[in-house]
Structure formats: C-alpha cells, structure tokens
Amino acid sequence: MLGRFLLALFLFLKRHPKILSWSFFSLVALAVITLAGSKIYQRWDDDPDRGAIAITDGAYGESYEVPEYLDQGWDEADSLWFYNTTQGSALLPYDFFLVLEKAESDQLFRSNENIDKFRYLPQKKTFFNPDALPVGFVKETYRGKDYVGFTCAACHTAQINYKGEAIRIDGGPAMADMVAFLTELQKAMEAAREDVKWPKFVGNVLALDNDYDSAKEVQSDLEKWTAALGLYNTINHSKVKYGHARLDAFGRIYNRVLQHVINKKQVAELLAQARIPTTSGGRYLLTQAQIEKVLDGVGETIILDDDFAKIVERLRSGEAGYPALSLKEFLYVRNEIFNPPDAPVSYPFLWDTAQSDYVQWNGIASNALAGPLGRNAGEVIGVFGILDWKVDDSWFGLSAWLRRFSLSAWATGQRSKREVIDFDSSVDLFNLQRLERHLRDLKSPVWPEHILGKIDRDKAASGKLHYARLCQSCHEIIDRDDADRKIVAKMLRIGKARTDRAMAENGAKYKGMSGNFEHTYQSVGVGKVLIEERAPVAEILTAATIGVVVTPDPDKWFPRRWAEWVYTLASSIFDNDIKASIKRGDYDPDTTAKPHASLLSYKARSLNGIWATAPYLHNGSVPSLYDLLLPVRRDGDPEGEGYRPSTFFVGKREFDPEKVGFESDGPEGFKFTTIQRGNKNTGHEYGAGSLSETERWNLIEYLKTL
C-alpha cells in the first residue's frame, strides 16, 4: 500500500507541473548536495582493523586475535559507516550509558568484558566511534538530546572463532542475547537510583557537561528512562526463553505499535475483560472503580510511554488502592492488550536482502517500490525509536484547514476523522534509505580455507549432485558476483514445511486494538479492507509505518527536512530494481475471506554463505549443518545417535568446521531445549533419512562452497 501511495503522489505531481515548481526542484537539488556531502563524509573512517580488537579470556573462556575480514564487497570505510550510522533508535540518554555501572559492581556496564558476555562485539575508538561503543551501538541526536541506540549492525554482524583466530562477518547473524542485555541494563539503572550508587552516577553525568545541568534533571530522566525500559521488558515477558542468537523481533515490534496506537477507552475495555481462568469460568482481576483509578490522568487518544509505564506501575504495585497484581496475574492483563512475543527466530543474514523480492522469515515484506523503507521504519519502531505521535483534534482554524493537506492523514485514511494522529518520530528515513542502498554492495562470505581448512573438491562435486536432487528446487544457487542478481523467495506452507509453527502463526493471527486506525481503509493483496476495532496487528503495523514514512524528520532544519524527505521517497521508488510481483511457491494464497493466509508459510532462502549462519532453521533450533541433515527423533524411534539433538548449548563462537556450526556441547551458554512451541526442531527433513553417512558428509562439503 505504501509504495502505491507514494507512486501515485509522484505521478500526480508529474501531471501538475505548476505544483512541481522551482521550489520542488530546489528541494531535490538540496537533497542531492546533502547526499553528495554525506557520501564524502562516510569515507572518512577507514581504520584498517575496522575498529575490531583482540579479546583475552573473554566469555566462555574464549580468546582471539584481532578479527580478520573476508572479501564481502565492503572495504574498511564501508563497514565502519554501516556500524556507526544512526537509524533513529534511542534506548536511553547517551550520558547515562557512558557512565552507568553494573548493578552489582563498579565496573562500567559498557565495559568490553560485560559487552562480550552478552555476545555483542567490543570495538576500539575510531573517527565515527570516539567513545568505543560496541558494533551496532551509536549516538543518536534527536531534538537537541543525545541518546544511545542500536544500528542494523548490532543484530546483523557475526563473528566466528577458530583456534585463536577470529573472522568478522558483515551482515551475518549476531550471537547477541538482547533480552539478557536489556534485563541487566534495567537492573543497572535501578541500582543507579539507590543511595549507594546515586552520588557517583549523578556526579559522573554532570561531569560530562553535555545534556544535564543539575542533579534534579538527571534524577527526572533516570526515573523516566528506567520506567520506560521496565515497561518494555514487562510487556515483552515470554515463557519461551530466547537465549543467544535470536529474538522475536516481530512480536516486540507489534507490541510497541499497539502500545502507541491504542486509546484510553480501549484500554479500559480490555482491563475489564482481564481474568484468570477457573473451573467456574474465571475470576475478573479489576473492578470498574479500580480501572478508573488505574487510568486516572491518562491521555484519551494517544497514551504516551510515561502513561503506560504509570499504568503498569499502578497494576503491579497496588498504587490505585487494591492488592498488587503478581506477575502471573499481570500477564493475563498483558495478553488482553498485547501479544506474547514467544516466537524467537534467528537474526537473518543481510547479504542479498536488497536483491530479494520478499524478505523476513514468513515473507511478510515486499521489497518492491518503497517496501524496504516501510520495513526498516518498522524495525526502528521496534528498537526504541522515539514516537512523538500527537493528536490534532481541532475543528476550526488554520490547523483544521491544514489537516486537509496532511500527507499522513491522507496516506493512513484519517482525513475524515475528527481526531488525526501526527506521526513525528526519531526514525531517520534518509539514513534508512542510504543503509538499504549500501547493502546492495554486500556479498556473501566465501569459506576461508586458510583458516578453516581446505574444501575436499571431490567430495563437494559428489555433494553437488545430492544438492541438485534434494535442495535446489527451493534453494536456488546464487552467483554472488552477479551485479544483476535477483533472489526469488520460495514460500512453503507450514503444514508442508513441518517446522516450528509459532512465528508464522503469530504473524498471521495476532490481533490488537487499532485505535485511531479503526474504520480506515487499507490495501491488501486481494483488495481493500476496512480496519476493525480489533484488527490483525499486521494491518495496524502497516498503517503506523505508512504514517511514519510520509512524515518528514521533525527535528531537522526545515529545508533540509523536506529535501531529504523528497529524495528519500523518490529514490525508494525509482532507484529500486525490485518490482511488484506475486509470491512463488507452495503456500495458501490470500483470499477475500483470509487476506493474510500467505503469512502461514516460511521462505526458503538462498544458501550462499550458509556456512557462516549457524544455528539453523528459522528458530535456531539446530546447531550445525550436519545435525540439520539428520532426521528428528520421534516417539517410538530407537534410542541412540543419528538424530537431531533435542538439547544443546548456544553462546560460544568457537567454530566446528567439520559439522559446520558452533561448538554446542556445553556446559557454558544458553541451554536450548526443543520441546516447547517456538523451540521445536522438526521439519525440513527432505531426504535426511535417505542419505547415507558418506552422502551426508559430501553434501556438507558442497554447502561450504556456496
């Protein structure tokens, strides 16, 4: 829908040359000048090590030399620009992150030792990274304040260690444990408020002489951002533990959008419905009087982060005059408003993303027209983009008149509503477009024989025949050096793939309150739908990202704001080789009765560089390629080896070049068990039982060559 709207806008301007006046061309010219300057500037950081450092006695006893980079089409400046370019994420004030200590010691939270524990990648100081932040952590400046936030690189930069040597993989899946990181970060911020740590913390913040002039300001923001992080962690509590190397990104994005879309009336209705099931039908958790106390002072149409944090605090503490809800009781309330983010998936690799027709594990995102811009805007919303959404409810005057010309009101179908949401945010659309364009030059890594050992070419030649017979119909072979390559997503319904169903089912079936998007129209593949009060979250997310994308960055100088916005939208549409097309594969098509049926499937990705992307399957439930080629043990099967492991450990970066995966025999790391929904290692067994042991090893040898 977003791409079609933007294309229609530009065609309209083309047909009305008076509107397309010299001022419009001036904006384009300014954007081109800005872009040219940006391209020159992004070459200024060319540290020969790309900021990478050696680690001695790191997490899980690992030590390694300065990592080596493979030829992936990027040079030193390309990697460092990717690591350090903000996309609009704001996790917490920058000054806080610089001086914050761990909860249980005086060690800096951002110390290399602590960062390595969560399996993020420590870096040294470079031109773009003067404070030596880890890979994918960056300073974001928004409306005069500095924040620390995530870049794409935090989740999409991998490292492989082997016998003391290290290989850094740009665009590879991270080993990071984001949930543990955010949990410990919250504890550290809570500890900073206590008497023992507070004097030192406030002194160190004020000594930076940056955004804060008084202890009162520091205290106010520490309370605010601690509550915001606590709110995020509480809402996204999951009974399925993620561990290293995966995240339910969509579940968390969905919840963050629902948090900012829902209105006060809808929250009250859902709180009234919250109950604990009992044999007699259920026990309601809140009375109407208690609900009124919980929502006292909360905004009617837009509920800000502070308001939602207040709601959760009142529910958990009993502040509103009733017994505090336990975590179990609160999760029943959470499940009425939000959805459990209980379908963690591996961080996907980024090479060939820009050349793909559809992306994400369930193929939800089309790459045609402005699709990548909407997809990336949604991602920033999920990783702590500041959403300064506000309500315009004026009936008369200039504001009401201007609303008739509001792009966001037009694009999101709100023009006829009394109240209209404006979508100001910290999302940096200009940088998102540049980052997506930058990925076109990224190529898959080639197996480094000088480190991981020679490939047996005879075995690989035999394995190629097995690949053609068993794999190639879904996983086409890609020429990584072909500049004109296109990647066709082959979708496969979950009933046939037989892999874990959680991610696909959640993406297709999760619903939430649509707030001001209720009774607006949205285009889906089979026509237009009228969004209901309780609607699929996929529809709500689409509406929200459209609103963000058609809203120029609010904190930039007016001419620059509009110049960059015009350039971003124009280049998103016209500088994109991917055109709108239908999905390919064996999947349930969208219909007027089930407009999101195609999401109940998984995408078979190309396998070039597959050797560098363990663990395997979409949910990371198989530790190595060798294990992936084994059958799943089922009830009635004999005991013994020869099956995929039902338990293994994740977190080590030490590589096993024989089985092609990370060491997983523990006892260090996150213990992964494959029993519950979200963690199952079933499916994708095509020919696994028919392969002899020799054939299996030959196929693995061939997979190393891709």
Q: Which of 255, 561, 253 is nearest to 428 (CA)?
A: 561
Partnered with residue 138 across adjacent β-strands are: 149
One domain, residues 276 and 323: yes
The maximal CA–CA distance of the chain, rounded, in angstroms, is: 78
Report the percentage of the chain scoring pLDDT > 70: 92
Cβ pair 118, 177 in contact under 8 A: yes
Tokens matching residue 94: 């920058």
Cα gap 345→581, rounded to integer Å: 26
pLDDT at 96: 98
Tokens matching residue 241: 């533990």
Q: Is the model's pLDDT at 169 over the cut of 60?
A: yes
Cα gap 361→380, rounded to integer Å: 18
CA angle 305, 228, 264 (to 5 degrees): 25
Cβ pair 139, 151 in contact under 8 A: no
Is residue 407, in this structure, part of any structural domain at all? yes
pLDDT: which is higher, 171 or 637:
171
Cα gap 467→470, rounded to integer Å: 5
Residue at token pair 């459209």: 546
Q: Is the peptide bond before 615 cis (omega within 30 degrees of 0)?
A: yes
pLDDT at 586: 95
H helix or E strand, kind and range, residue 145:
strand 145-150
One domain, residues 305 and 391: no
CA dihedral 82, 88, 89, 92 (to 10 degrees): 120
One domain, residues 508 and 549: yes
Cα gap 92→40, rounded to integer Å: 30
Cα gap 565→555, rounded to integer Å: 13
pLDDT in tens, 389-433: 988 766 555 565 566 667 888 899 998 888 888 899 999 999 999
Residue 409: count other Cβ atoms within 10 Å of its Cβ.
23
Cβ pair 343, 249 in contact under 8 A: no
pLDDT at 307: 85
Cβ pair 578, 368 in contact under 8 A: yes
One domain, residues 138 and 192: yes
DSSP one-letter string for 84-135: H---SB--EEHHHHHHPBPTTSSSBTTSHHHHHHTT---B--BTTBTT-PPT
Average confidence score pLDDT of the chain: 91
End-to-end CA distance of the chain: 36
Residue at token pair 């940088």: 431
One domain, residues 269 and 305: yes
Is residue 345, in this structure, part of any structural domain at all? no
What does the pLDDT average to over 329-349?
A: 94
384 conformational bin, left if phi > 0, alpha if psi -120 to 50, beta if neither: left
Fill in the amino acid letter for 146: D
What does the pLDDT average to over 92-114?
A: 98
Q: Is the model's pLDDT at 119 over the cut of 60?
A: yes
Partnered with residue 648 across adjacent β-strands are: 672
Cβ pair 370, 569 in contact under 8 A: yes
Residue 458: count other Cβ atoms within 10 Å of its Cβ.
10
Cα gap 475→489, rounded to integer Å: 9
One domain, residues 219 and 259: no
Cα gap 588→594, rounded to integer Å: 10
One domain, residues 148 and 277: no
pLDDT at 525: 86
Residue 521: helix, strand or coil by DSSP? strand
178 CB-contact burial (10 Å; exposed 0-12 / middle 13-18 / buried 19+): buried
Residue 468: count other Cβ atoms within 10 Å of its Cβ.
12
CA angle 245, 247, 248 (to 5 degrees): 155
One domain, residues 332 and 357: no
Residue 70: count other Cβ atoms within 10 Å of its Cβ.
19
What does the pLDDT average to over 542-571?
A: 91
pTM above 0.85, yes or no: yes
User: Phi and psi for 93 in degrees, rounded to 5?
Assistant: -55, 140
**What's the chain's length in residues?**
706
Is residue 454, in this structure, part of any structural domain at all? no
Is residue 449, in this structure, part of any structural domain at all? no
> Where a domain ends, among 598, 630, 663?
598
Pairing mode, strands 165-170 and 68-69: parallel
Cα gap 249→371, rounded to integer Å: 18
Residue at token pair 């065609």: 11
Cα gap 632→685, rounded to integer Å: 8
pLDDT at 57: 95
Q: What is the extent of the structural domain holding 654?
A: 459-485+606-703
Is residue 431, in this structure, part of any structural domain at all? yes
Cα gap 19→40, rounded to integer Å: 33
Reported as a pLDDT band with limits 50, 70 and 90, residue 317 is confident
pLDDT in tens, 425-482: 999 999 999 999 999 999 999 999 999 999 999 999 999 999 999 999 999 999 999 9
pLDDT at 416: 80
Fill in the amino acid letter for 544: A
Cβ pair 139, 86 in contact under 8 A: yes
Residue 486: helix, strand or coil by DSSP? coil
Count how many domains the chain has: 4
Q: Is the model's pLDDT at 12 over the cut of 60?
A: no
Half-sphere exposure of 477 (CA within 13 A, CB side): 13
Residue at token pair 């009733």: 322
Pairing mode, strands 534-536 and 511-513: antiparallel
Cα gap 355→349, rounded to integer Å: 13
Reported as a pLDDT band with limits 50, 70 and 90, residue 295 is very high
Q: Of the given ranges (26-40, 185-199, 386-400, 642-656), which has the lowest mean pLDDT? A: 26-40
Cα gap 251→338, rounded to integer Å: 9
Partnered with residue 492 across adjacent β-strands are: 586, 602
> Where a domain ends, among 292, 309, 337?
337
Which DSSP state fits 519?
A: T
Cβ pair 625, 661 in contact under 8 A: yes
Q: Which of 432, 335, 342 is nearest to 380 (CA)?
A: 432
One domain, residues 475 and 329: no
User: Phi and psi for 315 in degrees, rounded to 5?
Assistant: -70, -40
pLDDT in tens, 487-528: 999 999 999 999 999 999 999 999 999 999 999 999 998 999
> Where a domain ends, among 279, 305, 337?
337
Is residue 471, in this structure, part of any structural domain at all? yes
CA angle 344, 349, 351 (to 5 degrees): 155
Cβ pair 477, 488 in contact under 8 A: no
One domain, residues 376 and 317: no
Half-sphere exposure of 72 (CA within 13 A, CB side): 32
User: Phi and psi for 327 in degrees, rounded to 5?
Assistant: -60, -40
Is residue 380, in this structure, part of any structural domain at all? yes
Is residue 451, in this structure, part of any structural domain at all? no
One domain, residues 576 and 619: no
Residue at token pair 């959404």: 389
Partnered with residue 647 across adjacent β-strands are: 673
Cα gap 418→408, rounded to integer Å: 15
One domain, residues 614 and 586: no
